[in-house]
Structure 1
Amino acid sequence: MISRPPDTSSDHPVPPDRLKKQKAASLALYIGLVLLAVWVVRDFIVVVAWAGVVAIALWPLLRKVESNRWFTGRTTLIAAALTLAIALLVVLPVGIGIAQALREAHDLNEWFRSARENGIALPDFIARLPFGAQQISAWWQANLAQPLGDSAAMKGLHNPTVMTLGRRFGARALHAVVVFTFMLVTLFVIFQTGPRLSGALIRGVRRGFGDDGAELLQRMAAAVRGTVSGLVVVGLGEGVLLAVAYFVTGLPHVALLGLITAVAAMLPFCAPITFGLAALWLLAQGSVAAAIGLVVVGSIVVFVAEHFVRPVLIGNSTRLPFLLVLFGILGGAETFGLIGIFVGPALMTVLMVFWTDLVR
């Protein structure tokens, strides 16, 4: 029978210098492995970020549904229902837009063929412009009133650059579909874990950074939630109000235009682009009064939404001044892309907390 050698580790304790070196080596090993793991999943960081933003925004709704006695213990069902609702909110508008575009494709193709063969007639309203009518008419007659089949612009539509741009657009669209699919899967997993995930996250932050770190995390989550409410809710409101204005002024495809306006209004200062283009279309049809009325109504709606409603929704949730909210949204979008719209205000919250602690 072979006897095990006696454990002499307690008789020979590790020297302090070696222990420090071992801890430093372990820390370096952990940091290296974490960085390696982040590098491996680098293509999915945006997916997780989008899923996190949506989950933070809907977390109060999730907790409220879970507290209902009819849904107690049915976390998978709740997660599936919420994920399906998010998917439909994105897929249905896109599907409506594609269907509308396909319905208009025939008329657009006929107009395009007519323009190639006969040119584009000068709109009547140009002759009634208070200034610049003669110069615009001369340019139009020289460039657009003649058949466009032999023009340099039409020939450029068939060059390799345009074909390359088309392929790149298709690749980007496919990438967006893949990202959205993985985001839905990630969102379902987050919803399914429910309170366990949030509790573990808070405990981990509190253990690593104390109560101040946990409070900061909660305020950052509130900033993201407030930004989602301020951008999405206000954007939908602007879309509905401007859709009514589109209907009154006689614009076609009111529902589609309202949807496009709502999406544009979710981005700061982008709604004027949509109703401005709609007003130009009315002006081209000779409806000068309707175009002016649309611009006036749209400007009022956007001014009230951007300067009063949106700052209140975002600022009350984040306790941030309006200027920091604006800088966070615009700077975040410039730095991180579309996801930065929601990340920026959260980072401004960190800056505000640091400044508050500094001046105490």
Structure 2
Amino acid sequence: MKKQKPASLVLYVGLVLLALWVVRDFIAVVAWAGVIAIALWPLLRKVEGSRWFTGRTTLIAAALTLAIALLVVLPIGIGIAQALREAHDVNEWFRSAQENGIAMPDFIQRLPFGVHPISAWWQANLAQPLRDSAAMKGLHSTTVMTLGRHFGARAVHAVMVFAFMLVTLFVIFQAGPRLSGSLIKDVRRAFGDDGALLVQRMAAAVRGTVSGLVVVGLGEGALLGVAYFVTGLPHVALLALVTAIAAMLPFCAPITFGLAALWLFSQGSVAGAVGLVVFGSVVVFVAEHFVRPVLIGNSTRLPFLLVLFGILGGAETFGLLGLFIGPALMTVLMVLWTEFVQ
């Protein structure tokens, strides 16, 4: 009997590892569905507690899953529709550049330094007809077709992952309180009350991170959208949407409003470009250093530095999914450290 227990443990561990290896391509799908479910769990419980939706778990799960799908599909659809509307103008510009080259913008002559080297490079590489340039000759049909197939394969893979994530999310929502109750019960049985409390704090960390990243990102996008409108930029709604998505990632919003400011500068609107950079910098500074750490730190009870390390380190290690996993792991580290020093 004494030998059977270690053998059983080895067998169980081996079977679990084998099962994880079989479903390895779907682990990220389940993780994304879990992050979204954790973030929306309080809303799910609140809706289920309403007398209008009592016993309608499938309807609630379908509605929440559809809402998540629309939140992702609609912005992408708007962006594609906008790109198709601009495709004709872009094609005409590309043909003109092939035949006549690209004229050097006037703002280059107003740069405080580097005017002559930039002008010389532009005249040598872009001012001449692009059909004769080495760069254009390198874009032969085989290269373009290869790039197109690669992009198409990546797009199909992303669509399939998103579809499986929605199915998984629907199943999690449909399981509802039974799933959370069973999970906490099993964790308490295996690791005691401290283990159950740790899992709950990890869930709170994920929920707080989602709130901190998404809510702050949407706020930055809205404020900078107003700035885009005031400075006279075209396609304000699309630019604000792109900025909001970029702002959900730490320190990425400056890329979008920086490019917008550069476009304003190239059109001769120096005051608008400077104003946009100053306003955007203030918005990002306040959001990244005060609002976001407060939202995430209060829910996880983590200091700002651990929140920042968790987000950036998680993103570097696990990609986008690490933005939410990182703070949860930092919460575990903080709990273990607190118990150790007590």
TM-score (norm 1): 0.93
The reply to whether residue 213 of structure 1 matches residue 216 of structure 2 is no
Q: Say whether 1:313 aligns with 2:295.
A: yes
Is residue 118 from structure 1 mapped to residue 100 from structure 2 by the alignment? yes
Consecutive unaligned residues in structure 1, runs of 5 or more = 1-18
> In the alignment, is residue 346 of structure 1 matched against residue 335 of structure 2?
no
Q: Which amino acid aligns with 1:354?
A: L
CA distance in 2, matches of 1:203, 1:124: 69
Deviation beyond 6 Å, 4+ runs, structure 1: none
Match of 1:16 in 2: none
Superposed CA RMSD: 0.9
Distance 1:194 1:153 in 2: 56
Between the aligned partners of 2:31 and 2:209, the Cα distance in structure 1 is: 15
Shift of 1:166: 2.9
Instruction: Return the alpha-carbon distance in structure 2 between the equivalents of residues 171 and 349 of structure 1.
Output: 38
**Greater mean deviation of Cα atoms: 207-216 or 278-287:** 278-287
Q: Give distance in 2, aligned partners of 1:177 and 1:26.
A: 41
Distance, in Å, in 1 between the alignment partners of 2:200 and 2:144 is 48
- Shift in Å, 1:164: 2.8
SS of residue paired to 2:3: helix
For 1:29 and 1:44, locate their aligned partners in 2 and report how far apart those are by CA, in whole Å. 23
After superposition, give the CA deviation of every residue in 1:281-308 in whole Å (9 maximum; x if it has no partner): 1111111111111101110110010000
- Which residue does 2:112 correspond to in 1? 130
Give the whole-Å Cα distance in 2 for the aligned partners of 1:167 and 1:299: 39
Aligned length: 342
The structure with the largest alpha-carbon Rg is 1
- Aligned counterpart for 1:201 among listed residues 167, 177, 183: 183
Question: Residue 308 of structure 2 corresponds to which residue in structure 1?
Answer: 326
Q: Secondary structure at the match of 2:336?
A: helix
Matched, 1:237 2:215: no
Counterparts of 1:182-193 in structure 2 under 5 Å?
A: 182-193=164-175
* 1:267 equivalenced with 2:274 (yes/no): no
User: Aligned in 2, Cα 1:327/1:162: closer, same or farther, shift over 3 Å?
Assistant: farther
Residue 69 of structure 1: SS of its match in structure 2? coil
SS at match of 1:149: helix
Q: Give the stretch that moved more between structures: 56-65 or 31-40.
A: 31-40
- Deviation of 1:159 (Å): 6.0
Question: How big is the shift at 1:160?
Answer: 4.1
Q: Which has the higher helix share?
A: 2
**2:80 corresponding residue in structure 1:** 98
Distance 1:167 1:223 in 2: 40
Counterpart in 1 of 2:40?
Answer: 58
1:3 paired residue number: none
Q: 2:57 aligns with which of 75, 86, 89?
A: 75
Q: Does 1:286 align with 2:268?
A: yes
Q: Which amino acid aligns with 1:81?
A: A
CA distance in 2, matches of 1:161, 1:224: 42
Query: What's the TM-score once normalised by structure 2's chain length?
Result: 0.98
Cα distance between partner residues in 2 of 1:34 and 1:128? 65
* Structure 2 SS opposite 1:180: helix
The amino acid across from 1:106 in the alignment is H
Q: Tell me, what secondary structure is at the counterpart of 2:131?
A: coil
Superposition deviation, residue 62 in structure 1 = 0.3
Q: CA deviation at 1:337?
A: 1.1
- 2: distance between equivalents of 1:280 and 1:110? 23
